Amino acid sequence: MTAGGPRVLLTRRVPSSILEKLEAACDVQLEESALTPEQLRERIRDKQGLICVLTDRVDEPLLDAAPELKVVANIAVGYDNIDAPAAARRGVVVTNTPDVLTEATAELTWALILAAARRIAEGDRLVRRGAWKGWAIDFMLGTELRGKQLGIIGRGRIGRAVAAKAAAFGMTAVFAKQDMSIDELLISSDVISINTSLRPDTRHLIDRRALMRMKRSAILVNTARGPVIDEEALAWGLQEHLIAAAALDVYEKEPIVHEALLTMENVVLAPHLGSATRETRTAMIDLAVRNVIEVLQGREPLTPVKPGRA
């Protein structure tokens, strides 16, 4: 812990250049590894600021344990790990990191779309285990994207960035609610990209009923939040051949993945890599640190979140 300034808990190691910026303004306690909820409550008791990640749960018990807390900076654009209304009731500012991860997540979305459509992960596994017997005219045929419809659920920054790249692949992008209802989008889209935030009304938005509405040739991609998809229902839908493939970067009970999905060749699984570029993660951390410094020095945060809006 460094000496001087408001006390801040940082729950993960960050680049030294950014840590130095925070240490110049605050008294920093840095944690090297993930904390249990009990450990987090103990560490936060005398702190005015918290810089956390999406796996750190900031709930009523934690807020009750931190009477001096003034700001919580989440190193993520989503903040479903934080009880924002409870924080607001206590006068605690909550911030997130929008914009800086938009392009990286949109790029990863397209990587997953292409991997599922052209069976890249399946082919990689086949080659590695020595099962490839050579070229054949009907071998591992995938799906061409040109001329197909990309249905996007979630018209935020990331959803719009995903849509902006659709023309490069000859696809037409449509948005749920803006261009058509979710039901119409499910029925008519060849690829469906989940880019919505997690809210009570989007939890298990993709369930058995939704899967039954989709084309049997459809590909489902999720780079948003895991619980938007009911993984039990998804496993069932794939087993019943209701859709052709799925590509996931996020999971309902992360880091646990539904066991059935692990065995399916037509499922691409990534370990939550949406924002995982050096440039983006550095920018996210820097923005979180700047938010904390601004609030603790009596100024307005750069990117505050609004309670009740995800």
What local confidence, expressed as pLDDT, does residue 20 receive? 96
For residue 25, pLDDT over 80 is answered with yes
Which overall architecture, per CATH, does domain 102-269 show?
3-Layer(aba) Sandwich (3.40)
Percentage of the chain modeled with pLDDT above 90: 96
Query: Is 258 noted as a catalytic residue in this protein?
Result: no
* Average pLDDT over every residue of 253-262: 96
Residues of the chain with CATH 3.40.50.720: 7-100+278-296, 102-269
How confident is the model over 216-231, as a mean pLDDT? 98
**Regarding predicted confidence, which is higher, 67 or 309?**
67
Catalytic one of 7, 119, 225, 281? 225
Q: Using the predicted structure, report yes or no on whether residue 308 has a pLDDT greater than 80.
A: no
Q: Which residue has the tokens 């808990």?
A: 9
Burial grade of 229 (CB within 10 A; 0-12, 13-18, 19 or more): buried
Tokens 């640190």 sit on residue: 289
Among residues of the chain, what percentage have pLDDT more than 70? 97
DSSP secondary structure string, 72-131? EEESSS--TTB-HHHHHHTT-EEE---STTHHHHHHHHHHHHHHHHTTHHHHHHHHHTT-
With beta carbons less than 8 A apart as the criterion, state whether 86 and 63 touch: yes
Mean pLDDT of all residues in 78-85: 94
Taking residues 16-26, report their average pLDDT. Answer: 96
Mean pLDDT of the residues in the chain: 95
pLDDT of residue 1: 46
Write down the pLDDT at residue 267: 98
Instruction: Establish whether 241 is a catalytic residue.
Output: no
Report phi then psi at 131, rounded to 5: -95, -5
pTM here?
0.89
Verify whether residue 254 is a known catalytic residue. Answer: yes
Predicted confidence (pLDDT) at residue 160 exceeds the cutoff of 80 = yes
Question: What CATH number labels 7-100+278-296?
Answer: 3.40.50.720
| pLDDT reported for residue 3 | 55
Distance CA 259, CA 66 (A): 38
